[in-house]
Homo-oligomer: A and B are copies of this chain.
Amino acid sequence: MSLRHALLAVLTAEPMTGYDLVKYFDGTVAFVWSAPHSQIYTELRKMEHEGLLDGKLVARGERAEKRLFSITAGGEAELRRWESAATPYPAERSVHRLKAAYMEWSSLNAARAQLQAHIRHYRRRLENFEQYFEDMAEHRVQLLSRRLETQPVERHKAIEMAKAFAFKGEMSRARMEIEWANEGLAALDELERSGAVLAGDQPPA
């Protein structure tokens, strides 16, 4: 049920089409919540039926039309309710941590490759976040600029604080994962020096 709240939240910036939302969900929003277009279009229609959104057809070129969605009073109320209510913590499901926990079934070199891939993955994320912060400082984040234009000035500080805070969390997470993987690489070196054996370095019994 979080996709709908993500959609409501994005739509508080300004009315937009499903296509616009798809783009945002492929861009900055994807850092905290991602969704494919198939899910977005169907959820938008559902929310329209439930009165959380208002969709109206507008012209697009000569013949075509597109559907502009805006958040309704009910939608905003639902967003406020969700933002103020407690959200249960989903059960842990971390493939890469699971894999690490049973690393003994890999080989020394394959295990190293996994950790190096882990580092590469989170380094790339970190670079994207750093880019985002730069863009934010220079007012180049479209969604945020639109939001500031449409929301009352007295809320601007809170809006900027929330975005920065959330992304800082993802940055800390990325740094933590890189550090963790580096410690794993060191532990593997130590294992190798001590002559320990992984199952993948031995033939199957």
Contact = CB atoms under 8 A, between A and B. Distances in A.
Contact of A86 (B31, B80, B117): B117
A83 B99 CA distance: 6
Contact of A169 (B77, B100, B154): B100
B34 A158 contact: no
Contacts of A162: 100-104
A93 B154 contact: no
A151 to B, nearest CB: 8
A77 to B, nearest CB: 7
A75 to B, nearest CB: 11
By secondary structure, the A interface counts as: helix
Interface string A96-124: 11111111111100110110010001000
Nearest to A82: B99
Contacts of A169: 97, 100, 177, 180
A77 B61 CA distance: 58
B114 A86 contact: yes
Contacts of A9: 98, 101-102, 105
A92 interface: yes
A5 interface: yes
A172 interface: yes
